[in-house]
Amino acid sequence: MEYWQTILIYWLVIHFSLEFTIFPARDEKLYNSKKLLWIQMAIYGIAMLPCMLFVIGCWWKALLAWGLLMIVRCVLVCLRYYFESKNLKPKVAYWLAGIHQTLMVGILLFVCYAFLVIGGPFYYWKWLENWCVVVLLLLMIVLVWDVASCFIRRLFSLVPMPSEVTAQDRYAIFASARSGELIGKLERFIVVLFIMSNQFGAIGFVLTAKSVARFKMLEDREFAERYLIGTLASFTYAIVIGLVGKCLLQKMNMVYF
């Protein structure tokens, strides 16, 4: 793996950790409050500035890269806040969130390539390349933990709730979703571990254990449909992350993967 690719992965770990773990962008309240948005913007900027100074080395180029990143981020957040305040349909909000994160990853890629490949690295941190495997594994963990939960939660927002559901039933669904989210995080983590260790057949045991635990609840048609959507989305996401990560590690000549 080339130097700039290692740095990109390093920045992506910081980006997704800030967006989905430290200050969760999956929280629906975030884009309903300007105060929360500016706090998140400040935390994001404060965290990314030393990362860029550390990697790029030249302070004025690091500030230029950081300024470009923050300007694009500010524009995207303001646009998303504007559209979210319009009470968009769940499908439109889902695509809007996806476009937002895709553009943020794109600007990080552009900044990394422009300042470390075209501009050339000012300080070549050789020891950082030795940690590229650890950084890649951290990125995979962040993606299957909180980023995946946000993706699946947005996916569930596309599934309409039955009109006859009472307030008590909605609370029960919410409580079940909270435990289901934690179960989903653990199952994706386990699936990725199985893929990394070439134990593909063991993935079926995870699905079986989950189905047994929810067996009686599957008699409810509405729950069964939501369960199937969440499970298929969760497993597909984890398998894709596991296979891509495994492929990248094999390119690094990590023979034990």
In this structure, the number of other CB atoms found within 10 A of the CB of residue 45 comes to: 16
Q: What gap in Å lies between CA 57 and CA 22, rounded to an integer?
A: 26
Of the CA atoms within 13 Å of residue 171, those in its CB half-sphere come to: 3
Q: Domain-by-domain residue ranges, the chain? A: 3-131, 159-251
Q: What gap in Å lies between CA 180 and CA 183, rounded to an integer?
A: 5
**Which of the two residues, 48 and 156, has the higher pLDDT score?**
48
Q: Of 4, 19, 13, 58, give the one whose Cα is nearest residue 149.
A: 19
Return the minimum-mean-pLDDT range out of 58-67, 114-123, 161-170, 181-190.
161-170
| Residue 166 in this model has a pLDDT that exceeds 50 | no
Q: What gap in Å lies between CA 215 and CA 213, rounded to an integer?
A: 6
- Out of 48-52, 91-95, 243-247, the most confident range is 243-247
Number of residues written out for the chain: 257
DSSP per position, the chain: --HHHHHHHHHHHHHHHIIIIIS-TT-TTGGG-HHHHHHHHHHHHHHHHHHHHHHH--HHHHHHHHHHHHHHHHHHHHHHHHHHTT---HHHHHHHHHHHHHHHHHHHHHHHHIIIIIS--SS--HHHHHTHHHHHHHHHHHIIIIIHHHHHHHHHTTSPPPTT--HHHHHHHHHHHHHHHHHHHHHHHHHHHHHHTT-GGGHHHHHHHHHHHTTGGGGSHHHHHHHHHHHHHHHHHHHHHHHHHHHHHHHTT-TT-
Express each pLDDT in 67-96 by its tens digit: 999 998 888 888 877 777 777 676 677 777
- Which pLDDT score, from 0 to 100, does residue 125 have? 56
Q: What gap in Å lies between CA 229 and CA 235, rounded to an integer?
A: 10
Q: Tokens 């069964």, residue?
A: 224
- Which pLDDT score, from 0 to 100, does residue 241 have? 92
pTM equals 0.76
